Structure 1
Amino acid sequence: MEARAIIGWNLRVLRVARGLSQERLALAAGIDRAYVGRVERGSENVTITTLEAMAMALAVPVAALLTAPEAGAAPPPALRAGRRAKNERSSTSEG
C-alpha cells in the first residue's frame, strides 16, 4: 500500500472511531472538508503541517496516520449518513 493510501486509510479509521464527520474534522483541523475527502481517498499529497493538524484534531500522534494497516484488515466503515436526532445531539458534550 502506498503512503497516501495508508494515510487516507488511517485518517478514516480514526475519524470514524471518534464519530467525526469529514466536516467536523476539517473544522477542527482548520482545513477544507473536500480536502479531507481527497486525503481519505489517497488522491492528495499531504504536507507534514496538515498531517500534524489532523493528528491534533484527532488527539493522536502523527505516527498513527503513517502506520500501515495489518494485512487483510477490514476497510474502514462509513458513518451513518445525515444529521443526528435532536435528542442525540443534546445528550453529548459536542457543541
Structure 2
Amino acid sequence: MDLRDVLAANLRRLRHARGLSQDDLAYEAQVSRSYLSQIEKGKYYASLRIIEQLAVVLQVEPWELLKGPGNGH
C-alpha cells in the first residue's frame, strides 16, 4: 500500500471517529477543504507540517496518520 493511501485511510477513519466534516477539519488545521479532500483521496502528498497540523486537530500523534494496517505499534 502506497504511503499516500495509508495516510488517506487513516485520515478518513480518524476524522469520522471524531465526528468532523472535511470542512471542519480543514478549517481547524488551516488548510483548504479541496486540498484536504485530495489528501483523503490519496492524490496529493502532505508535508510533515500539514501532517502535524492534522494530527493536532485529530488529537493523535503524527505517526498514527502514517501507520499502515497490521502494524502493531
**What range describes the TM-score normalised by the shorter chain of this pair?**
over 0.9
Matches of 1:23 and 1:29 in 2, distance apart? 10
Give, in angstroms, the shift of residue 69 of structure 1. 2.0
Kindly name which structure, 1 or 2, has the bigger radius of gyration based on alpha carbons. 1
TM-score, with normalisation over the residues of structure 2? Answer: 0.93
Q: Which runs of 4+ in 1 moved over 4 A?
A: none
Matches of 1:10 and 1:43 in 2, distance apart? 14
How many correspondences in the alignment? Answer: 70
Residue identity (%): 39
Specify every segment of 5 or more residues in structure 2 that has no aligned partner in the other structure, as ranges: none
Q: What SS does the corresponding residue of 2:39 show, helix, strand or coil?
A: helix
| Greater share of helix | 2
Residues 15-50 of structure 1 deviation map (CA, whole Å, 9 limit, x = unaligned): 000000000000000000011110010000110000
Q: Is 1:4–2:4 an aligned residue pair? A: yes
> Which residue type is aligned with residue 68 of structure 2?
A
Matches of 2:47 and 2:5 in 1, distance apart? 14
C-alpha root-mean-square deviation of aligned residues, in Å?
0.6
